[in-house]
Amino acid sequence: MKKRMRKRLFGKKIAVPALSAMLLFSLAACSETEKSSGESKEGKSSTPEIRIMTTAYTPDPPSDDSPVLKELEKFTNTNITMNWVLDSAYQDKLNITLASGDLPDVMMIPSKIPSFVSAVRDGAFWEIGPYLKDYPNLSKANEITLQNSAIDGKNYGIYRARPLGRLGVTFRKDWLNNVGLETPKTIDDFYNVLKAFTKNDPDKNGKDDTYGMVISKYSGPFDIMQIWFGAPNKWGEKSGELQPDFMTEEYMNALKFFKKLYDEKLINQDFAVMDPQKWGDPLLNGQAGVIVDVLDRGRRADEDMRKANPALTEPIDILGAVEGPKGLRSLPTAGYSGLLAIPKSSVKTEKELKQVLTFLDKVNEEESQKLAYNGIEGRHYEIKDGKLVILTNNDQALINEFTDLNQFHMGIPEDRFIKPEMTAVREKEQKILKDNEKIVVPNPAESFLSDVYAQKGQQLDNIINDARIKFIVGQIDEAGFKDAIKLWRSTGGDDYIKEINELYKKANK
């Protein structure tokens, strides 16, 4: 779904290179000298143009005459031409566009897809990392997220920020009160809570019908908890070399803990086959007391449980991590969802690049974020007694004036738009998100793209994931897990380790 081009210059449609050249005009107030350099061939100054390609999640995203888009143009002093593509068709359209060579000035890249990586390695996109320091907002980009979004150790796009420290523990606060325990602070405390939730009738119904923690066949909870034990995030450094997490002593210590939870029936015995879609049900229906997952699961559970039973005044609480042998540690998310990349075919010079970066930096300002997420004050929302009041109600035409404009907003260094009034759990979630950022453990190999893994990654992952489950349920012992590592190595794992270390050394020269 593509919007028409909104500008014709000098009375006729121009080719892409000529349109790209219009980016020579400064986005900020300029001197007389700069003004003269920004004049067209006819001697008239022109407002800078920028073309953006990104996703739309509604069939009617903001049109050319959207009052919100016009306000955004005024704020950035830019004529913005949007190329909206429905999310369901975006990857196909992106690949076609990359192959065509007719590229916009900014294009959203949803992930490190092969076509983009190939284009980057062919020199088709600007490396923007060295320039970020020159911009007030972009200079505050999170270093771990920059690393996670990099390709071969370099940044070829500005990430769209998502919470980096999003993972943690959701637990039944009312159950914790019933068993007389405090919020767990250490791994031992966490174990004691799970045991009490299983053995001590936390719902006070006189029945043995509860257990500590629910886990599904999704492996995320194990990945999160093993970080508490000091295991690395996928790859860890030892004597100057990177090695996989499952080859470390800390990983095995975590594995033994998981087996203990299973043996003592503190987790559901069917976790290996449980549908992740039904993962949250035992928490909501009063069977299990803990889920280790994203923190917003706790906020949603709290809201759902209060609606279902208004008598529950304090059903849910959350925490970021518990302390292990190496202190407080948390597994990060990638920290981003998509990149805004700048092609060299349309943004040809360093001067043009800096002008595009100036625009993108300004998009992170509070006024721009409020336009994209809230709309125009007095039209789409108002502030009453210090609280956000939505004016659009169910008027889809009004909503469509700004919905999806956030698809090219980055949120760097932070969200600055107006948020609804928060519940106690939602407020705590926001605090933990920031606290977790201080204790996340980065993956030193996150930016490396392995050819071996591209060919054999699924097979290699399955070997270790299967061995982990078999160890937890008692089908293999420690020697059996070591045999699985040997199989992993002989199946291509040694080549994978060698390749990752070559990339690691190259990036750290």
Domains and CATH numbers, the chain: 16-162+336-408 (3.40.190.10), 167-331+442-449 (3.40.190.10)
Please tell me the distance from the alpha carbon of residue 63 to that of residue 272, in angstroms, as a whole number. Answer: 48
Beta bridge partners of 44: none
Q: Which amino acid is it at 168?
A: G
For 471, the token pair is 């160890």
Please tell me the distance from the alpha carbon of residue 314 to that of residue 207, in angstroms, as a whole number. Answer: 22
pLDDT at 81: 97
Task: Identify which of 245, 182, 443, 229 has the alpha carbon closest to the alpha carbon of residue 327.
Answer: 229
Residues 6 or more apart in contact with residue 65 via CB below 8 angstroms? none
Task: Identify which of 90, 84, 81 has the alpha carbon closest to the alpha carbon of residue 51.
Answer: 81
Q: Is 102 exposed, middle or buried (0-12, 13-18, 19+ CB in 10 A)?
A: middle
Q: Which amino acid is it at 486?
A: K
Given a contact cutoff of 8 angstroms between Cβ atoms, the answer to whether 329 and 227 are in contact is: yes
Angle between helices 114-121 and 90-100 in degrees, nearest 10: 20
Given a contact cutoff of 8 angstroms between Cβ atoms, the answer to whether 453 and 496 are in contact is: yes
Residues 6 or more apart in contact with residue 100 via CB below 8 angstroms? none
- Residue 49's alpha-carbon distances to 18, 73, 226, 304, in angstroms, are 11, 10, 49, 46
Rg (CA), the chain: 26
pLDDT at 196: 98
For 462, the token pair is 């399955």
Tell me the H-state helices in 150-248.
Answer: 173-178, 187-199, 220-228
Phi, psi at 109, each rounded to 5°: -110, 115
For 213, the token pair is 């923690």
| Per-residue pLDDT tens digits of the chain, which is 509 residues long | 444 333 322 223 333 333 333 333 333 333 333 333 333 323 334 788 999 999 999 999 999 999 999 999 999 999 999 999 999 999 999 999 999 989 999 999 999 999 999 999 999 999 999 999 999 999 999 999 999 999 989 999 999 999 999 999 999 999 999 999 999 999 999 999 999 999 999 999 999 999 999 999 999 999 999 999 999 999 999 999 999 999 999 999 999 999 999 999 999 999 999 999 999 999 999 999 999 999 999 999 999 999 999 988 889 999 999 999 999 999 999 999 999 999 999 999 999 999 999 999 999 999 999 999 999 999 999 999 999 999 998 899 999 999 999 999 999 999 999 998 888 999 999 999 999 999 999 999 999 999 999 999 999 999 999 999 999 999 999 999 999 999 999 999 999 999 999 999 998 88
Asked if the peptide bond before residue 59 counts as cis, ω within 30 degrees of 0, the response is: no
Beta bridge partners of 387: 384
Quote the pTM value: 0.85
pLDDT at 46: 74
pLDDT at 26: 34
